[in-house]
Amino acid sequence: MTETPFGDRLRAAMDAHGPFCPGIDPHAALLESWGLPDTVEGLADFARTCVEAFGGAVACVKPQSAFFERFGSAGVAVLEDTLAGLRAAGTLSLLDAKRGDIGTTMAGYAWAYLSSDSPLRADAVTVSPYLGYGSLRPALDLAAATGRGVFVLTLTSNPEGPSVQHAVRDGRSVAAGVVDGVTADNAAARERGGLGSVGMVVGATVGSAATDLGLDLAGSAAPLLAPGLGAQGGTPAALRATFGDALPQVLGTSSREVLAAGPDVGALRAAARSAADALVTALDTPPT
Ligand SMILES: O=C(O)c1cc(=O)[nH]c(=O)n1[C@@H]1O[C@H](COP(=O)(O)O)[C@@H](O)[C@H]1O
């Protein structure tokens, strides 16, 4: 039986905890600053502490697959345990894997992250549309069938992003094409005034790019993951200018800024709560 759609589950979690999603990004430098070895045992300790601190305290948590994969299969096993820990805590997981491939291979990735039977299943996954939005179809369809979500890179937070995402063909930017696809996939949710299960990634550092490119973010009904807060220079106060009337759809995320508060579980949780509170204030969407 299909679960409640991801968009509805995310809306409820954002209303309950504020629109913030801390990342679990166990960089070598962070392991060191937490007094942990740069080994799979250090990784496991780090991730366990994050699950303990964030579970039940925030809307969603975003483990970054790269920092688990660098330890090979043992690191991937830690990622499986981390996702299971978040499930047990009743907290939504967004696996940051940024996958994108031709349709048949995409189906393999989709099964890995979005099937109800996979050990690496998450509530949602990040995907890259640069093989064409349509190549994501297996992930979009499986997510819809299993009550999960997909976040599509649209305007990324890094300085290299605009060279691809702002490029124009036949009078339309690449980013506008992504927004078209996402808007079509969220049509049913938009009609009933809800949040869709197909999200977009729009960096907290992109300034006026969405307006400049004529993107209708509010009309997409997409949850809008906004990375780049903190370490990359983005601030909650700047989100209003970037997102305009799409502010209620924004889910802010940061990793290093919050993780620097560890390894103390209470301090880490307090840092995540304070980031969530800052977003509530900046976005003027008080938790109900
Ligand atoms: O999809 C993402 O989360 C993402 C997209 C993007 O445009 N920029 C971006 O920084 N991210 C991710 O967000 C996290 C940012 O980490 P901090 O810069 O430490 O907050 C990393 O895991 C990035 O891979």
* Alpha carbon of 157 to ligand 1 centroid (Å): 7
pLDDT-based confidence at residue 287 (cuts at 50, 70, 90): very low
The reported pLDDT for the residue numbered 286 is 44
**Is 6-280 CATH 3.40.30.10?**
no
Is the CB of 203 inside a 6 Å radius of any atom of ligand 1? yes
End-to-end CA distance of the chain: 29
Domain ranges of the chain: 6-280
pTM value is 0.97
Q: Rounded CA gap, 169 and 11, in Å?
A: 35
* Alpha carbon of 225 to ligand 1 centroid (Å): 10
The reported pLDDT for the residue numbered 284 is 75
Question: Could you tell me which residues are beta bridge partners of residue 201?
Answer: 153, 225
What ipTM was reported for this prediction?
A: 0.99
The reported pLDDT for the residue numbered 174 is 98
Contact criterion met (CB below 8 Å) for 254 and 275 = yes
What are the pLDDT digits (tens) for 147-181? 999 999 999 999 999 999 999 999 999 999 999 99
Q: Rounded CA gap, 119 and 239, in Å?
A: 35
Per the listing, tokens 């309950």 go with: 16
Higher-pLDDT residue of 201 and 283 is 201
Is the CB of 64 inside a 6 Å radius of any atom of ligand 1? yes
Choosing from 60, 96, 257 the residue with most ligand 1 atoms within 8 A of its CB, the one to mutate for a pocket test is 96
Question: How far is Cα of residue 279 from the mean position of the Cα atoms in its chain?
Answer: 16
174-199 average pLDDT score:
97
pLDDT at 288 > cutoff 50: no
Is the CB of 128 inside a 6 Å radius of any atom of ligand 1? no
The reported pLDDT for the residue numbered 1 is 41
Q: Rounded CA gap, 135 and 22, in Å?
A: 29
Write out the E strands in the chain. 20-24, 60-63, 92-99, 124-127, 149-155, 168-169, 172-173, 198-202, 224-226, 250-254
Give the residue numbers marked as catalytic. Answer: 98
Is the CB of 27 inside a 6 Å radius of any atom of ligand 1? no
Percent of all residues in the chain with a pLDDT value above 70, rounded to a whole number:
98
What are the pLDDT digits (tens) for 78-135? 999 999 999 999 999 999 999 999 999 999 999 999 999 999 999 999 999 999 999 9
* Alpha carbon of 228 to ligand 1 centroid (Å): 6
